[in-house]
Amino acid sequence: MERLTERYPENGVHVERIRYHGCREASQVEMLRVVGGGHQWYGFGPRRWLDKFLGRSTREIDADEVIWRFFDTGATTVVVVEPDTDS
């Protein structure tokens, strides 16, 4: 498990990357766990006015880039959001 660098540590959201190797045909599965995040489009940046409706966001990952990488390279990435339990 690798914890990604927090760009906005004050918001309490962080991302963990977990990689699984040894899959069929030398493929790799990657899980990005967004801890404390809400139902946001990640990478867009802080939008405090939306946080109260959708939960907190992060720039640690970029949803556009993750989706493009999936279709462009065939990478298998799963994004799991652990909701903020404080709100």
| pLDDT confidence of residue 76 | 67
More confident residue, 50 or 86: 50
Domain ranges of the chain: 2-83
Give pLDDT tens digits for 35-79: 888 888 888 766 777 888 888 888 888 888 888 887 777 666 666
Beta bridge pairs of residue 33: 16, 80
| pLDDT confidence of residue 87 | 46
Give pLDDT tens digits for 9-39: 777 888 888 888 777 776 777 888 888 888 8
Q: Please tell me the distance from the alpha carbon of residue 66 to that of residue 68, in angstroms, as a whole number.
A: 6
